[in-house]
């Protein structure tokens, strides 16, 4: 099994290229063991359902007054594991990559924050805690911190396993970087 996610597809791309890649990945994921995909999607759903309320709470407290929003980072993109996770979860993917050109702002950032549900965002947008949010996290009980980390680990491991299963397919991906 993979120990790190690949950076495949983690770059600006046109919406038409995004749609082509998603179609290739959808075809590939349909060939994977259905029981394994259902198990992994269940793990992903459970982790997101536990992480989302905590992260949304932190964001409500810290983001409105932030002078340097993490969402403006120029190197945040969906990677292959993000795309495979969306497909495994049966979630309609967003219209395209976070940006079509280098140095553009993320197309999903609105004045009120991200327009995407947490499960649809690139992974880094799911787990990243800025310093203000880390302060809030440190003030949580030890048991709450452990549970949060456990869900992050489950999310990461499910994503790694999903990408490993995909890589084991005998077909060759036309867009491999």
Contact 47, 176 (CB under 8 A): no
Classify 90 as helix, strand or coil: coil
Looking at the predicted structure, is the pLDDT value of residue 30 above 80?
Answer: yes
d(CA 59, CA 40) in angstroms, rounded, equals: 27
pLDDT band at 170 (very low <50, low <70, confident <90, very high): low
Which of 102-106, 135-139, 151-155, 166-170 comes out lowest in average pLDDT? 166-170
d(CA 162, CA 142) in angstroms, rounded, equals: 30
Query: Which uninterrupted H or E stretch holds 171?
Result: none
Q: How many residues does the chain have?
A: 177
The pLDDT assigned to 103 comes to 87
Query: How many CB atoms lie under 10 A from the CB of residue 20?
Result: 14
């Amino acid at each position: 099994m993979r120990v790190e996610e690949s950076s495949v597809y983690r770059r600006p791309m046109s919406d038409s290229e995004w749609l082509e890649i998603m179609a290739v990945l959808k075809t590939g994921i349909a060939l994977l063991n259905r029981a394994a995909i259902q198990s992994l999607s269940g793990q992903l759903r459970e982790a997101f359902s536990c992480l989302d309320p905590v992260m949304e709470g932190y964001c409500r407290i810290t983001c409105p007054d932030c002078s340097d929003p993490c969402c403006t980072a120029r190197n945040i993109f969906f990677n292959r594991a993000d795309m495979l996770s969306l497909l495994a979860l049966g979630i309609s993917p967003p219209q395209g990559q976070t940006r079509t050109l280098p140095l553009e702002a993320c197309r999903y950032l609105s004045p009120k924050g991200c327009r995407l549900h947490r499960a649809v965002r690139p992974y880094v947008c799911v787990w990243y805690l800025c310093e203000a949010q880390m302060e809030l996290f440190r003030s949580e009980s030890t048991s709450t911190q452990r549970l949060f980390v456990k869900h992050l680990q489950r999310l990461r491991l499910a994503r790694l396993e999903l990408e490993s299963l995909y890589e084991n397919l005998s077909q060759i991906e036309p867009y491999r970087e």
